[in-house]
Structure 1
Amino acid sequence: MRKTVTLFATTALALTLASGTASATPGSGVAGTILAQKTIGHTDYTLREITVQPGGYTGWHFHDGTLYAYVKAGTLTHNLADCSIDGIFAAGRAFTEKPDQVHIGRNLGTTPLVLEVLYVLPAGSPLSEDAPDPGCGF
């Protein structure tokens, strides 16, 4: 039920946002496209589609706000800075990322991973911030 609510909320917000642009810092085999972006008060809302090719990864990073994501295709392996896997998310699944939580997203599958991501960040924040590799060996 929670995943369904997250998906519907993301979709509803996406329909109200205006188009915009932003820069990204991709890892290996990652491409992102801004679908919509809007600032309301002190909060930036950005809807972005991210594609990670097989064997690709986002690089270690964190966000200054909360992210709401939906796996449109493929499977995401999501690791935290302690090297643990905190989720393996297949197509049709939704998940959130907490502010300031260092992590990496990887596509260990054989097909492209496609994510629809809603970034809810303090106004003016970058979409992500680089973090040092914690030495997990992947």
Structure 2
Amino acid sequence: MNTFSPIRRQGGISLLEVLISVVVLSIGLLGIAGLQTISLKSTNMAHERAMAVILTETLFEVMRVNEAAARAGAFAMDCHTPAPGTEQWFEDVKAATSPQTCATVAWNDGVYTVTIDWSNERMNTDSIIVMETRP
């Protein structure tokens, strides 16, 4: 009579269970790594947007301090030439967002429109902040 012991019949099953567990665990870890990467990218983009808004508000405060010059339209500028007295602000905008940032200030009938436009290289997106104020 041939009898097999239960241990002998199930040889290799535990190894297969371990291999399946390792595959499931590695897929989960790859998912967590992907979520972490997206989270870091989104956090960076939110930081850039917040800094652009803060810098725009900073320029508005400079305009309020120099009200006579602001009412004369002295703060109008394009992407490449900052208005006199705003050179540091212009550099801060580029440092906070990206070196290719375009910051413009338009003066139109007593209203300043500040536009900060930049590309987020990590997310492959373009961002723009537009704010208006009356001096």
- TM-score normalised by the chain length of structure 2: 0.25
The structure number with the bigger radius of gyration is: 2
More contact order relative to length (CA 8 Å, sep ≥ 6):
1
Greater per-residue strand proportion: 1
